[in-house]
Amino acid sequence: MFRYYATIAAHHLRRNKALGVLMVLVIGLGIGASMTMITVFHVLSGDPLPDRSAQLFVPQIDPRPLDHGRPSAPSTDGNFTWPDAMNLLHAARADRQAAMTGGAVPVRPVQGDGLPFYETGRYTTADFFAMFGAPFLSGTGWTAQDDERHARVVVLNRTLSRKLFGEAPAVGRTVRLKDSDFRVVGVLDDWQPQPQFYAQIDKRSFGRSDQFFLPLQTALDLKLDFVGSLSCWGNGGDARTSDQCTWLQFWVELDSAAKADAYREFLSGYWREQQAHGRLLRKADPHLYGLMAWLIRQHVIPDDLRLQLSLSMGFLLVCMLNVMGLLLATFLRRGGEISVRRALGARRRDIFLQLGVESSVIGLAGGLLGLLVALLGLWSVRQRPDGYAQLAHMDAGMLLATFALAVLAGVLAGLLPAWRACRIAPALQLKTQ
């Protein structure tokens, strides 16, 4: 039956080519514009670590004095002071924990007379790699003992390893970062989580990847260049080690809800303990955000993209309303044909189903056009300088969603016209034939 109705739909579209092409074009443009933005939104809102995100948390305490900002307004960046980060790190109340910040250093080529070049990386602590499941191509990360000894060791991402050593093994080799030599202990297999969730969230969180990782304390000792915000108040002396400057990110791994609750209690106890020493004077109100909740809180998806998504969906709605008007005119014009079918025994639901299939065929044809428009739209997005632009690719799920949305749009646009056509009184139409 559906095949028969689809044949009838194709026949009517051939009879009214101009109107059929117009409806397909309108639906196609609406689908293409909306699927472009839906695909971008889908890419940016994905889980960067699907197998681990439920176990990763960002603790947050507010070390600011009462006169710094509104007393009731919590800090939003989640950054830690050096003393607080080290206290939580050494307390080791989580399964794993790591303090970190970004860095940028000149890298000196190992061979030849090449000029130094800058690379961005991460200064962190030993649990970082196991906690985030960073895949090693060769070697391993460093140990907690290396952190304590301020060891000059480094883990390279595969891209930087190839740039320095080609395809030769890098583990055990020496890399010169700024003015210091570091021993390579591991090479990651092009690890590039998107967004770069563990770093401070900003407009550069997409598209970039850390090319080296080295111990946080070693970077502090060598006064390597740091990347990221440094928020200070008062006069704390050495800004990096002061308890009056926030600049470190801190993550913990907790593999059960019970451990998460226990860690919240630990944070509350730590806050009250610090208040007894004259610190953390705000009301004790620690937070523990899961990875996905943290990305939402940090507005990892730019507000302009949300606006563009809303506008594209509004455009699709306008297109559907236009197609609805065209279908209504088309179906009502075929009142005589519909009345003859009713007189020969066709039920209203048969007529409704036939017209619904015709609307779906129009939607499906519009989906094919919309797919081409969406691919063109995603190509244009990839030409933008934004960090997320290169991630704008349509996967299999979005491909299926394009056709599903197209058929849905066609069916919804055809509901009212089909219902209205089914209400035509056959006797009145036959009398005028």
> What are 162-221's pLDDT values in tens digits?
999 988 999 999 999 998 999 999 999 988 888 888 887 766 667 678 999 999 999 999
Per-residue pLDDT at 339: 66
Q: What is the structure's pLDDT at 396? A: 83
Cα 81 to Cα 63, 99, 163, 243, 275: the distances in Å are 8, 10, 35, 5, 15
Backbone Cα Rg of the chain: 30
AA identity, residue 266: F
Query: What pLDDT does 213 receive?
Result: 96
The pLDDT, as a whole number, for residue 196 is 85
- State the pTM of this model: 0.78
Strands 231-232 vs 245-246: parallel, antiparallel or unpaired: antiparallel
**Residue 387: per-residue pLDDT:** 66
pLDDT at 432: 52
Long-range contacts: 317-322, Cβ < 8 Å, 24+? 317/30, 318/30, 319/26, 319/27, 319/29, 319/30, 319/409, 320/27, 320/30, 320/409, 320/412, 320/413, 321/413, 322/26
Q: Is 18 exposed, middle or buried (0-12, 13-18, 19+ CB in 10 A)?
A: exposed
Q: What is the pLDDT of residue 42?
A: 82
Q: What is the largest CA-CA distance in the chain?
A: 99
Tell which residue, 56, 209, 97, 215, has the closest CA to residue 147. 215
pLDDT for position 73: 47
DSSP structural state of residue 48? S
What element of type H or E holds 132? helix 128-132
| Cα gap 288→301, rounded to integer Å | 21
Q: What is the pLDDT of residue 132?
A: 95
Closest listed residue to residue 219, CA positions, set 127, 82, 116, 63: 82
Q: Which residues are registered as beta bridge partners of 213?
A: 122, 155
Closest CA to 168 of 158, 182, 153: 158
Model pLDDT, residue 325 = 87
Give me the residues of the chain with pLDDT under 70, please.
Answer: 1-6, 8-14, 68-76, 111-113, 202-205, 207, 236-238, 334-346, 385-389, 423-433
